Structure 1
Amino acid sequence: MQIIVHNTLPILYDAFTKRFKAEELLPRFLEWAESEQGFISLVRNAKGRHGFQDFDMLSAVRSDGIDILEAQQQYGLFNPTRSLEATEWSFDESERRQLADRIAKTLEILAKAVPSRLLPDRLVVAIVPADCANGTLMMNGSGISCYGRAPGYLFVRIWPSAGNLRRLGYILARSFIHGIRRTARNEDSAISLGEAVVMEGLAAAFIHTVFSDAEFPALIHFMPPDDWGETLAELAGYYGKTSYDDVPINIYGTRIQAGSFRSPDVVPLTREELQYACELIIAHSERTEANIVAAYLYGDPLLAAQGHPTFGIPHLAGFEAGYHTVQRYLETTGIEIASALSLPWRDILEMERK
């Protein structure tokens, strides 16, 4: 597998860190964005003929990579509340920490743990800017967003705090398996709840296999790093605020406070909650409506925050249910995770019906 990394940060350094008049910046930016390695072209190519199959699902929860697909205010370039000083730090720190090389080396390691027949001929990785005034990214994603569900493509944006760089491998592994799974299954139809849950379970099991230090592999991508509170406090200082909750967020002219994006704490399910979640998911596993899949995968809190109906599902219950189901399948059958990546979801979920 050939890994091609498009690191947009050096290319966009001046545009993101210096002050330009909008009428001067916009045409220059669009010329680049529509070029072969620009945002617009990369997203268009990744979208392909069938579009992003899970766009509506992610939209329902406003989480988990939706900010990458939407490219809100072109990743913050045209966000008037984005701090130029904080942005300059993030660009410089990404370069100092050799972010592009770190991502490429991690993906090379991950690829060795996957059967070669499941790997794409090439994987195009796009590193896009992290907007310090994007509530979805900074509060919901704790500074990391990654999307790899389009086969052959993987998009990453990261606020390069020490804690985020430590957990970057877990995040990349999950998104990498998303792409592997989509390639292996090669289905154009709407994604069922059963497929979504099993895919997440396979990704968590893969993380558990590759990273022995991952304590909660099914939830680790939603857990903020230990230093995230300190990082947010430092960011608040750029705005003259004592708390990042009070930082103004501008969404196409609508101003709200960052605190409104704060997600519930991530807490592992009890045994009873896990059993309850598994039963509900099995009963609805064939459903393909985006709001239903999102509800049973992400749980009530994220759905309720967007004004959608809820179904009595604990926060992030589908991720833990998927991991539990896949681990039980692997332990019972003796099949290794690498061999299970391409199996039909019904074969794996059937174990929970017995």
Structure 2
Amino acid sequence: MSPGSQLPTRYTWNLAKASGFCKTMALSTDDQIEFAVHDDAAALKRLFTLPVSARLDALAAMRGVSSFDTAGMEMLRQIHERGDGFRVEVDDPRYPAAVDRLGKADAWGQIKRELARAWDYQNAALPGIHHPDRIEVTLTLGNPDDPIFLDRTHGYYGMGATPGTIWMVAWPTDYNETRIGACAVHELAHNIRTPNVDGPFNLAEWVVHEGLAEVFTVEVCGPDSTGAWYQDVTGKVFDETWDKVVAAFGTGTTFRDWSPYVLGDDVARRVGSEPVGIPHMGGYAVGRRIVERYLDAKGLKAAQAIARPVNEIFEGAGVTPGKT
């Protein structure tokens, strides 16, 4: 079945949110997506003028989270007290300057333009694919004092596997300030693939997700637009990483089990998982190689393969899960 050929043009996608509630997300097979990019530069600048004690509530109001939403507030605390977001409990003069730098880099404008361009490319390559009617896009300021985030992850990344939502975090650097739009394109690939593939989410699907998203970004934004997260995973290190990741396909049942194989040992330790000898973002490098092999074998672009089942991609790439 080609994407959308035997399904109604519109149906609803029920998403379990981290808060425990479900959001009804409308999907479509038409050629339009509304990208609602929230330009929070001015709001963030205002937030940094408030007393520290008032900032969490102000941030919650920006994000549409009620102070009575216990789970939502805990998520904000996780991001901005223990995660990669700026620290709400810290009065840091670097924060307003960093927001200004994001503004001068036209970070929010990059996101709008690159998402629109990426969707035009995807829609031309595979019309009729299921996609959200509207995608809410949030870019927040990162934490400059975390070496894994700033040095290993180059101060930026996103999360986009939930259709209808893209969340991004960045601390501006010379490297990333021109690539924030490309990061959004990577997340759009996740937003598109998720509602178009059947079956349970697992390690193999996650690795293929990342590989497709990376190659899709290269197709839209160019060869230098992404790849720094795993640039050191080459040669013997790559070969060893490949063997470990492919051998782990079919194992584990949770993100905690799979994270070491995708995100690497540094992140595994942070989330309380057992390191498995994978370099930072090693699973991305493996996923990209799998996808590139498949695309080369089939003569396709990532945009044409965005909804192909993982087993088909493995077969075309010559990958046997659980074997190296």
TM-score (norm 2): 0.72
Measured in 2, the distance between the counterparts of 1:326 and 1:303 equals: 24
Alignment CA distance shift 1:88-1:72 (3 Å): closer
Query: Which of 211, 219, 225 is equivalent to 1:201?
Result: 211
8 Å contact 2:158–2:183 — kept in the other structure?
A: yes
Partner residue of 1:55?
A: none
Q: CA deviation at 1:168?
A: 1.8
Q: Percent identity?
A: 21
Partner residue of 1:89?
A: 97
Partner residue of 1:259?
A: none
How many residue pairs match? The answer is 274
Q: CA deviation at 1:267?
A: 1.0
Measured in 2, the distance between the counterparts of 1:114 and 1:174 equals: 12
8 Å contact 1:15–1:77 — kept in the other structure?
A: no
Measured in 2, the distance between the counterparts of 1:156 and 1:303 equals: 20
Per-residue Cα deviation, 1:295-322 (whole angstroms, up to 9, x for no partner): 2223334434666423343443322211
Q: Which protein is richer in helix relative to its size?
A: 1
Alignment CA distance shift 1:306-1:38 (3 Å): closer
Q: CA deviation at 1:126?
A: 1.4
Alignment of 1:7-22 (within 5 A): 7-16=39-48, 18=49, 20=51, 22=53
SS at 2:162 equivalent: coil
Per-residue Cα deviation, 1:273-294 (whole angstroms, up to 9, x for no partner): 4444334333331223323311
User: What amino acid maps onto 2:158 in structure 1?
Assistant: C
Alignment of 1:276-295 (within 5 A): 276-287=240-251, 288-295=253-260
8 Å contact 1:149–1:182 — kept in the other structure?
A: yes
Per-residue Cα deviation, 1:223-273 (whole angstroms, up to 9, x for no partner): 6xxxxxxxxxxxxxxxxxxxxxxxxxxxxxxxxxxxxxxxxxx51321x44
Q: CA deviation at 1:192?
A: 0.9
Is 1:325 aligned to residue 290 of structure 2? yes
Per-residue Cα deviation, 1:185-227 (whole angstroms, up to 9, x for no partner): 265x4x3111011111111211222233328x5x33x26xxxx
User: What amino acid maps onto 2:47 in structure 1?
Assistant: A
Measured in 2, the distance between the counterparts of 1:77 and 1:318 equals: 29
Alignment of 1:1-354 (within 5 A): 1-16=33-48, 18=49, 20=51, 22=53, 25=54, 30=57, 33-34=60-61, 38-40=63-65, 70-73=78-81, 75-76=85-86, 78-80=88-90, 82-84=91-93, 86-115=94-123, 116=127, 117-133=129-145, 137-185=149-197, 189=200, 191-214=201-224, 217=226, 219-220=227-228, 222=229, 266-270=231-235, 272-287=236-251, 288-304=253-269, 308-350=273-315, 351-353=317-319
Alignment CA distance shift 1:39-1:134 (3 Å): farther
Q: CA RMSD in A?
A: 3.1
User: What amino acid maps onto 1:280 in structure 2?
Assistant: K
Partner residue of 2:23?
A: none
Alignment CA distance shift 1:322-1:145 (3 Å): closer
Runs of 4+ in 1 over 6 A off after TM superposition: none
Q: CA deviation at 1:38?
A: 2.2
TM-score (norm 1): 0.67
Alignment CA distance shift 1:284-1:142 (3 Å): closer
Measured in 1, the distance between the counterparts of 2:76 and 2:157 equals: 7
Alignment CA distance shift 1:203-1:308 (3 Å): same
8 Å contact 1:68–1:145 — kept in the other structure?
A: no
Partner residue of 2:25?
A: none
Measured in 2, the distance between the counterparts of 1:211 and 1:177 equals: 13
Unaligned runs of 5+ in 1: 48-66, 224-265
SS at 1:40 equivalent: coil
SS at 1:201 equivalent: helix
Measured in 1, the distance between the counterparts of 2:238 and 2:144 equals: 35
8 Å contact 1:150–1:182 — kept in the other structure?
A: yes
Unaligned runs of 5+ in 2: 1-32
Comparing 193-202 and 332-341, the one that deviates more = 332-341
